[in-house]
Amino acid sequence: MGINEINDKIINLWEEQFNEQEEKSPVLFPDDRGRDILFIGCNPSTGEKTYFDHEEHKLLRSWKYAKSKKDCRDRLVAIEQKSRTISKFFKKFIKIKEEFSLLGLREISWGHIDLFFYRDTSQDHFKKFIMGDSKKGILNEFGEKQLSIAVDLINYISPKLIVVANSFASDMLSKKLNISDSQFNEDTGYHIITINGKDTIIFFSSMLTGRRALDNRSFERLKWHIRQALRVGDK
């Protein structure tokens, strides 16, 4: 399954879920296969007006403004690529990449996905769309289908290292992949999971930007830990 097929599955899910009304377009993703680091967030925000032109905002308000499924897919992927260059959300990811070069280490590549594709700045409001029983942490059918597609994305990208940069996303992905304490390596300080038959390093963290972001010293420790982990992965 390629990236276009995965993105089409997301559009198909939106057509199935929101057939009788216009609804915000989902986030779709560029081809990040084989990245060194995959950052995983929870869900996309609605997008700041200064980032996008009129036509882009029109499409973000509803995927039904696209002329065809291919047009929708191509334009939403382009919006996601544009967001990575201008959105504050991605600045910490870029900083991690740049510091490898500043320290004289090899050039690294990174990608990003969200576990859920529904655009909403308020996580409390967003969770109403995906949760069946929020107290028990149980997703509804719409949430489960999104999470399954996200796992398809992770398998497709097949990164060397994953950073889950959201506590709720960390809980949901751990449960989905059945990640247990036994997969935590006491010597290295991170979990190891298997993706496409190979060991993959995974860090569970809280947000790197925003009001609930890691403090600066915790972020420094995370950067150090990622550098050490990638060095191990390169051997």
User: Minimal CA–CA distance to 119: which of 53, 34, 62, 71?
Assistant: 62
Q: What residue has token string 């879920």?
A: 17
Give the residue numbers spanning the domain of 220: 30-55+87-234
- Inside any domain, residue 75: no
Q: What is the value of pTM for the model shown?
A: 0.93
Any domain includes 172: yes
CA distance linking residue 152 with residue 146, whole number of Å:
10
Per-residue model confidence (pLDDT) at position 175: 94
Question: Could you report the per-residue pLDDT of 63-108, keeping only the tens digit for each?
Answer: 889 999 899 999 999 999 999 998 888 999 999 999 887 777 788 9
Predicted local distance difference test score (pLDDT) of residue 47: 65
The answer as to whether 17 is a domain residue is: no
- The answer as to whether 78 is a domain residue is no
The CATH number of residue 208's host domain is 3.40.470.10
In a domain, 131, yes or no: yes
Structural domain contains residue 38: yes
User: Does residue 77 form part of some domain?
Assistant: no
Residues in the chain predicted with pLDDT less than 70, given as ranges, are 20-22, 47-50, 232-233, 235
pLDDT given at position 29 = 98
Domain count, the chain: 1
Task: Say if 181 falls within a structural domain.
Answer: yes
Three-state SS for 15-68 is HHHCCCCCCCCCCCCCCCCCCCEEEEECCCCCCCHHHCCHHHHHHHHCHHHCCC
